[in-house]
Amino acid sequence: MAYKDLQEFIRVIEKHGELRRVGVELDPYLEIAEVTDRVSKSAGPAVLFENVKGSKFPVLTNAFGSYNRMNLSLEVESLDALAEHIETFLEVKKPDGIIEKLKLLPKLARMANIFPKEVSKAPCQEVVHTGDDVDLSIMPVLTTWPGDAGPFITLPLVITKNPETGVRNMGMYRMQVFDKNTTGMHWHKHKGGAYHYHLAEKLGKRLEVAVAIGADPAVTYAATAPIPDEIDEIIFAGFLRESPVEMVQCKTVDLQVPANSQFILEGYVEPGERRREGPFGDHTGYYSLADNYPVFHVTALTHRKDAIYPATLVGPPPMEDCYMGKATERLFLPLIKKSLPEVKDINLPLEGVFHNLCFVSIDKRYPGQTRKVMYALWGMGQMMFTKVIVVVDAEVNVQNVSEVLWRLGNNVDWRRDIVVLEGPTDALDHACPLPHYGGKIGIDATKKTAEEGHYREWPDALTMSKDVKARISGLWSSLGID
């Protein structure tokens, strides 16, 4: 059964020993962040801060910060099992006979429960503030690093509509709180919300925006997922939770929001209006540079009476967002395999903070195949931001970073096996000389053949005889070696 709300998820992870409650008064300025950083670095639990200085609302951090909690958040035994379901639905096609039709029925039954359901009354609107009564300071928004320009909302689900087609987008973009009723809107130009704003500016119109904070875990994750623009994230969340997402109409804008959210911000961004936003201590482990971004004007703030404020701390890995990134890696591997069937596995290491490193193993059959895979990956959605792609043979376990580095050190001739090119980069990449544009490298760490200009014999890697391994395994307990 899908989680009713964030409160139910908290009860579940606490039952599994994955939550700690903190009753000591702590300041949302840096102190909660310092505790969360220490917990994250030690692979610790989610933390519910119940005594937050200056606020009546508790703060939840590190809710997704382990593989087990990611599984619990999406209600699966393993992410790979959920990925198989995604792959199954990608294969839905017109059945040719009665047997195929019968096989299709379970898929269609599950699809019937993915579309959102509108409700007239919602917990997120139990308390309503509009106009001059709006005051963002009632929320315990965290300042997480000493050099941050101010407090930032870090888990917002930002909802907009395409002003030309009406298609909805929900993304997660940080929001710096400027004052009681305005924030920054950190829209990267590559993202869906930024595209909607671009279209609105061309039309000379303001763009209505709604921001949900603290929806159920599947909805929150869906906002981060790199799904195609034409797929509604709310429908994707319904697929993940196998139950419709209940949506309620906003009070001051023509948008709908998840009814089970903790807080809702309603408002608009004006065409052409910009304000200096940042710096902000980001997931790269560095402060992202200050720049001019659109301004979000809040016309309504609604919330539950028992609201909990969720926040994520980003910084040097490992952090909570690393586990969300690993979930994306596993869930969307089937999509990559659809386009590139030679791909066996992919690893986006935690140290690469999503877009810096990609290790991929392939079933290599012909010359140039490694480059074909590199170029194809760079052409797939947010994979365009990847700075380093390392391709290895199918038998290499790309989840073992040590094994990949061993192959990298042994299998590469640096004059022959690298590709350097230019392309789009993540907005947070401070190393590239121009914003949003810079260099990338692809490294071929596979075995080489004469067809690829390698005329020497390629040696076999060291492996022990299977018979010997089996015999020693059988004797191991009697050897007296711990």
Count Cβ atoms below 10 Å from residue 368 Cβ, excluding itself.
10
Q: Are residues 375 and 292 in the same domain?
A: no
Mean pLDDT, range 116-128, rounded to an integer = 96
Contact 155, 211 (CB under 8 A): no
* Secondary element (H or E) of residue 272: strand 263-277
When pLDDT is averaged across residues 158-167 and rounded to a whole number, the result is 95
Residue 372's domain comprises 340-452
Look up the pTM and report it. 0.89
* 479 falls within a domain: no
Residue 227: predicted pLDDT:
82
- Collapsing DSSP to helix, strand or coil, 444 comes out as strand
**How far is it, in rounded angstroms, from Cα 318 to Cα 351?**
7
The whole-angstrom separation of Cα 222 and Cα 169 is 11
Residue 476 within any structural domain of the chain:
no
* Domain assignment present for 266: yes
335 inside domain: no
- Is 280 in the same domain as 365? no
Q: With b meaning 16 or more CB within 10 Å and e meaning fewer, what string describes 283-313? A: bbebbbeeeebbbbbbbbbbbbeebbbbbbb
Domain membership of residue 466 (yes or no) is no
Just list the catalytic residues: 282
* 191 — pLDDT class (breaks 50, 70, 90): confident
- 41 occurs within a structural domain: yes
Domain of 50: which CATH number? 2.30.110.10
Q: Report the distance separating Cα 308 and Cα 48, nearest Å.
A: 9
User: Looking at residues 108-117, what average pLDDT do you find?
Assistant: 76
Read off the tokens for 364.
């290599």
User: Do 172 and 257 lie in a common domain?
Assistant: yes
296: pLDDT strictly greater than 60: yes
Give pLDDT tens digits for 423-456. Answer: 998 888 889 888 889 999 999 999 999 888 899 9
* Distance from C-alpha of 437 to C-alpha of 427, rounded to nearest angstrom: 9
- The string over 132-145, giving b where at least 16 C-beta atoms fall within 10 Å of a residue's C-beta and e elsewhere, is eebebebbbbbbbb
Task: Tell me: do 291 and 424 sit in the same domain.
Answer: no
262 and 361 housed in the same domain: no
Please give the torsion angle defined by the CA atoms of residues 185, 186, 187 and 188, in that order, rounded to the nearest 10 degrees: 170
What CATH number has the domain bearing residue 377?
3.40.1670.10
DSSP string, 16-30: TT-EEEE-S-B-TBT
Whether residue 119 is found in the same domain as residue 161: yes
Q: Per the domain annotation, does 327 fall within a domain?
A: no
**Number of domain units in the chain:** 2
Which of these ranges, 7-16, 202-211, 246-255, 347-356, has the smallest mean pLDDT? 347-356
- The per-residue pLDDT of the chain, averaged, comes to 92
Residues 304 and 347 in one domain: no
Q: Are residues 49 and 152 in the same domain?
A: yes
Instruction: Verify that 213 and 156 share a domain, yes or no.
Output: yes
Asked if residue 301 and residue 344 are part of one domain, the reply reads: no
Q: Is residue 319 part of a domain?
A: no
End-to-end CA distance of the chain: 44
Residue 179 makes CB contacts below 8 A (sequence gap 6+) with 136
For CA atoms 144, 148, 151, 152, give the dihedral sign.
negative
State the pLDDT at residue 103. 54
Instruction: For 371-390, write each residue's pLDDT tens digit.
Output: 999 999 999 888 999 999 99
Q: What is the pLDDT of residues 59-111, one digit of tens each?
A: 999 999 999 999 999 999 888 878 877 666 555 555 556 655 555 555 656 66
What number of H helices and E strands is found in the chain? 13, 23
**Are 146 and 24 found together in one domain?**
yes
Kindly state the DSSP code that residue 366 receives in the 8-state scheme.
S
Confidence grade of residue 145 (pLDDT, cut at 50, 70, 90): very high
pLDDT for the residue numbered 453 = 86
Rg (alpha carbons) of the chain, rounded to whole number: 24
Provide the token pair at 86: 């995604």
